[in-house]
Amino acid sequence: MESASKNFHKAVIGATKLKLKSEYRHAKSALRPSFPYGKPTLPGAIEPEKKKNKLGVDYNTDWARKPAMKFARRVVLESLARPVIHLIASPTILGDEIFQSLKGPFIFTANHASHLDTGLLLTCLPENIRGKCVAAAAADYFFDTPMKAFFAASVLNAVPMERLKVNRKSALMAADLIDKGWNLIIFPEGGRTPDGWGQPFKGGAAYLAIRTGAPIIPVHIHGTRQLLGKGARRLVTGTTRVTFGKPITPTEKDDARKLAERVQDAVACLADEAATTFWEAKKRNANKTTPSLEGHLDKGWRKSFASYSLPSPSRPSRPSWPPK
């Protein structure tokens, strides 16, 4: 008996709530033009759809690849972003000769230390490739608000990528873009390094390569952490080094995990090369003594600290002009 009357009360309260909601929505719409000229009001029984559906992984970036946007981005990239980035980061580019003989689309997999990475990598690519590049960007970071999503999509030509869990939609979308001839920049670590050391490569890039057959080009970026690392408040100028490795073409036998390991290995080798020389790095690689990107097993500050023991890149000497 008691529970019945309780249920009854609950039902009455529920109905009253619905009614109030409906009255409120009705009253709120009193001043705007009536449907269909104005927006429809929601029935009391319907919960408003959460807007976030539209953001994150589900953010549709098709508009950012329309010809007009492509053109605008190109103008910005060539006339503004490139000179600025060169000024800030003064990159040295190694291994870019591979683009002379290969046809895209490619999947660029790079280590990730800074927000500058995407821009820097873009400016270091040959013109025909950088004009047709999309960047995989963390859906939860770059696409969580409309403004950020707009910025990421329009300026960086970013596509949302789920980094915390496997998401078929974002993978399919990226694969679709590669199939359509777009190059993809992806940071397989899934985020910027917190401490200077690398993080394990996730399988996404490898999966895409296997699915689309596009070759992976391992890239190592050195030095951006010092300019604008994770948590940095100020941007400082400095020098950087971008090293392109030999393309890794997936075979049918590859599975995503193995391939991801190969890619990680290749990037580690590039890092070694950036720190030393090509030949030394190759030798260490052959002996399987390439220093791991992930470095120490230490944690916390000691790990960060240890990362500084990596040799700093040797700057090529450049005659300054006018001579001092």
Q: With respect to another protein, which residue has the nearer C-beta, 24 or 151?
A: 24
Task: Report if residue 316 touches another protein, rule: CB under 8 A.
Answer: no
Cβ nearer to another protein, comparing 4 with 45: 45
Q: How far apart are CA 88 and CA 73, in angstroms?
A: 20
- Restricted to residues 9-38, the positions that interact with another protein (CB under 8 A) are 18-19, 21-26, 29, 35-37
CB 44, min distance to another protein, A: 5
- Options 8, 13, 32, 43; binder of another protein; rule CB under 8 A: 43
CB of 61 to another protein, least distance (A): 17
CB of 300 to another protein, least distance (A): 43
**Does 240 help bind another protein (rule: CB under 8 A)?**
no
Nearest to 146, CA basis, from 63, 37, 48, 77: 63
**Secondary element (H or E) of residue 171:** helix 168-179
By CB under 8 A, the count of residues binding another protein is: 21
Closer residue to another protein in complex, CB, 2/47: 47
* 155 near another protein, rule: CB under 8 A: no
User: How far is it, in rounded angstroms, from Cα 19 to Cα 45?
Assistant: 9
Q: Report in angstroms how near the CB of residue 171 gets to another protein at its nearest.
A: 15
Q: Is 211 in the site for another protein (CB under 8 A)?
A: no
Report d(CA 209, CA 106) in Å as an integer: 9
- The CB density around residue 186, as the number of other CB atoms within 10 Å, is 25
Q: How far apart are CA 30 and CA 225, in angstroms?
A: 55
Q: Which is nearer to another protein, 21 or 283 (CB)?
A: 21
What is the C-alpha separation between 262 and 279, in angstroms, rounded?
Answer: 19
Q: Which strands sit side by side in the sheet containing 133-138, from one edge to the other?
A: 91-94, 240-244, 216-222, 107-110, 183-186, 133-138, 158-161
Encoded tokens for 206: 């490898």
Residues 157 and 164: their CA atoms lie apart, in Å, by 21
* Cβ pair 137, 256 in contact under 8 A: no
φ/ψ of 78, rounded to 5, equals -75, -40
CB of 248: closest distance to another protein in angstroms?
29
Q: Does 42 bind another protein (CB under 8 A)?
A: yes
Q: Which of 208, 185, 197 is nearest to 116 (CA)?
A: 185
Indicate whether 44 belongs to the interface with another protein (CB under 8 A).
Answer: yes
Among residues 41, 114, 193, 304, the one that binds another protein under rule CB under 8 A: 41
Interacting residue with another protein among 1, 45, 87, 297 (CB under 8 A): 45
Identify which of residues 24 and 71 has a Cβ nearer to another protein in the complex: 24
Residue 219: closest CA among 110, 61, 62: 110
Q: Site for another protein (CB under 8 A): which residue of 11, 13, 46, 172?
A: 46
Does residue number 49 form part of the binding site for another protein (CB under 8 A)? Answer: yes
Nearer residue to another protein within complex by CB, 48 or 319:
48
Q: Give contact residues for another protein (rule: CB under 8 A).
A: 18-19, 21-26, 29, 35-37, 39-46, 49
